[in-house]
């Protein structure tokens, strides 16, 4: 019998996600709409590396791995005659699910999803043995939008909980399974630099330390996007004033945006970054900000640079798909093949799970807000498989950045390194 694990962040959505754990029930056996064991665990339960939900998940996957080896061997023996056969969408779904006996669902925001992925790493669980989906209770929910998971509408209470769970089971078994990339993003500082972050409890800035020493390097695993610039400064201000009420949070975010754009001096990206290169190769330059260097593309003036891994950014904006303009001033000496590459960049599409990242800039701070109504405010910079490095100018004292909605400040940065980490299997909801 297949198994579904639901990991709940009870604080998400103004504590709305806690409905799933309110009864204290850890296991339900469903016979309809599909037969399965359904496990429910709180992400807050258990200490580091002693969380009962992930201990159970690890045990189940280890038990079923040996069974799947035998099943796969028999399936492969007769796979050759199926290759040229046209199959229906239902058969395709069945084929996609054939090698999966375990599914993970996350009730929370995009940050909770990354938390679950981090716990999976802590328990050395094989990513090829499960598919994962996100039931959205967060603020932006860009990951869930990408994979078709919608908010649960209506009043959430005990009387409708079982019907909600039955619907979730149906969604899991009817979903398509897609591949999704995770990326390593590493921020490295000079000797005198430091990171700080807003403490979620005290709402005050805290310099990040480890063993009483100031951290000089942060490595994050990115699912959705990361950015440098005014959008991260807005998000950081929002973190200081975040409330439990979802409507209040959206209003606070709007106010922070107006305040940071209209009344604060924001350093352009061109004054922060020196250049971006491929694979640490100084001769393979994506862009430079040095106006006297006529050999490489010059980054146009901008207030934010965004690296995107999914089609949605900042509550559902498709910032790559709606723009077909370049954020680069190209060298006059560019040969015809290179010119053709940049023409293709204007038209290229974004695909989830293709092993590529897209980079865009926003010329003005106001463009971030206008993007919600007047699409296409961003400018395309690059699309590729990496790895990359972004080098900062010397003695840059103040930089705001975010990774998947987690906001930071850094002083005296040296560079950001980006490279592919892994692929995971994601449930793409179609209901």
- Across all residues in the chain, what is the average pLDDT? 90
pLDDT value for 268: 96
Own/partner pairs, 73-81, CB within 8 angstroms, 24+ separation? none
pLDDT value for 76: 46
Measured CA to CA, the distance from residue 256 to residue 235 in angstroms comes to 8
Pick the more confident residue, 248 or 159: 159
Cα angle 25, 10, 430; round to 5: 85
Per-residue pLDDT at 78 exceeds 60: no
Cα 12 from chain centre: 17
* 360, 258 contact by CB (below 8 A): no
Where does residue 180 fall: left (phi above 0), alpha (psi -120 to 50 degrees), or beta otherwise? beta
Per-residue pLDDT at 65 exceeds 90: no
Q: Residue ranges per domain, the chain?
A: 2-174, 182-422
Of the candidate CATH numbers 1.10.3470, 3.40.50, 1.25.10, 2.170.130, the domain formed by 2-174 belongs to 3.40.50
Per-residue pLDDT at 90 exceeds 90: no
CATH architecture of the domain covering 182-422: Sandwich (2.60)
At 210-222, the pLDDT tens digits run 999 999 999 999 9
Q: Tell me which of 212-216, 254-258, 410-414 is least confident.
A: 254-258
Q: Average pLDDT for residues 192-214, to the nearest whole number?
A: 93
CA dihedral sign of residues 106, 112, 116, 121: positive
Per-residue pLDDT at 75 exceeds 90: no
- The full 3-state SS of the chain, as one line of letters, equals CEEEEEEECCCCCCCHHHHHHCCCCCEEEECCCCCEEEEEEECCCCCCCCCHHHHHHHHHHHHHHHHHHHHHHHHHHCCHHHCCCCCCHHHHHHHHHCCCCEEEEEEECHHHHHHHHHHHHHCCCCHHHCEEEEEECCCCCHHHHHCCCCCCCCCCCHHHHHHHHHHHHHHHHHCEEEEEEEEEEEEEEEEEEEEEEECCCCCCEEECEECCEECCEEEEEECCEEEEEHHHHHHHHHHHHCCCCHHHHHHHHHHHHHHHHHHCCCCCHHHCEEEEEECCEEEEEEEECCCCCCCCCEECCCCEEEEECCCCECCCECCCCCCCCECEECCCCCCHHHHHHHHHHHHCCCCCCCCCEEEEEECCCHHHHHCCCCCCCCEEEEEECCCEEEEECCCCCCEEEEECCEEEEEEEEEEEEEEEEEEEEEEECCC
At 389-406, the pLDDT tens digits run 999 999 999 999 999 999
Give, in order, the Cα–Cα distances in Å from 13 to each of 9, 135, 161, 247.
9, 11, 16, 10
pLDDT value for 241: 65
Give, in order, the Cα–Cα distances in Å from 238 to each of 256, 273, 403.
6, 25, 15
Query: What percent of the chain has pLDDT above 70?
Result: 88
Is residue 266 very low, low, confident or very high in pLDDT (cuts 50, 70, 90)? confident
pLDDT value for 243: 65
Predicted model pTM: 0.90
């Amino acid at each position: 019998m297949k198994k579904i694990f639901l990991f709940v962040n009870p604080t998400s959505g103004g504590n709305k996600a806690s409905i799933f754990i309110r009864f204290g029930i850890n296991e339900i056996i469903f016979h309809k709409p599909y037969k399965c064991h359904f496990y429910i665990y709180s992400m807050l339960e258990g200490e580091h590396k002693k969380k009962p939900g992930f201990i159970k998940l690890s045990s189940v996957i280890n038990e079923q791995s040996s069974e799947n080896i035998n099943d796969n061997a028999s399936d492969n023996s007769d796979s050759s005659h199926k290759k040229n056969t046209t199959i229906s969408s239902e058969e395709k779904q069945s084929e996609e699910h054939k090698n999966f006996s375990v599914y993970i669902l996350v009730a929370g925001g995009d940050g909770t999803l990354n938390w679950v992925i981090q716990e999976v790493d802590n328990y050395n669980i094989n990513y090829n043995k499960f598919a994962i989906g996100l039931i959205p209770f967060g603020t932006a929910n860009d990951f869930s939008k990408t994979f078709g998971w919608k908010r649960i509408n209506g009043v959430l209470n005990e009387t409708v909980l079982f019907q909600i769970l039955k619907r979730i089971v149906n969604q899991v078994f009817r979903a398509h399974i897609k591949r999704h990339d995770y990326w390593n993003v590493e921020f490295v500082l000079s000797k005198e630099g430091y990171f700080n972050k807003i403490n979620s409890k005290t709402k005050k800035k805290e310099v990040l330390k480890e063993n009483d020493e100031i951290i000089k390097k942060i490595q994050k695993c990115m699912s959705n996007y990361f950015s440098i610039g005014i959008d991260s400064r807005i998000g950081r201000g929002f973190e200081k004033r975040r409330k439990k009420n979802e409507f209040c949070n959206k209003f606070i975010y709007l106010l922070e945006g107006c305040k940071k754009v209209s009344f604060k001096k924001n350093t352009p990206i061109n004054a922060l970054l020196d250049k971006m290169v491929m694979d640490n190769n100084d001769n393979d330059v994506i862009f430079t900000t040095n106006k006297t260097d006529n050999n490489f593309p010059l980054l146009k003036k901008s207030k934010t640079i965004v690296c995107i891994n999914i089609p949605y950014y900042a509550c559902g904006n498709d910032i790559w798909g709606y723009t077909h303009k370049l954020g680069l001033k190209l060298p006059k000496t560019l040969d015809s093949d290179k010119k053709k590459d940049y023409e293709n960049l204007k038209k290229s599409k974004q695909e989830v799970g293709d092993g590529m990242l897209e980079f865009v800039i926003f010329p003005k701070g106001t463009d971030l807000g206008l993007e919600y109504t007047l699409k296409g405010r961003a400018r395309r910079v690059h699309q590729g498989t990496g790895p990359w490095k972004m080098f900062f100018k010397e003695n840059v004292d103040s930089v705001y950045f975010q990774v998947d909605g987690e906001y930071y400040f850094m002083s005296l940065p040296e560079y950001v390194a980006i490279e592919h980490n892994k692929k995971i299997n994601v449930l793409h909801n179609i209901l």
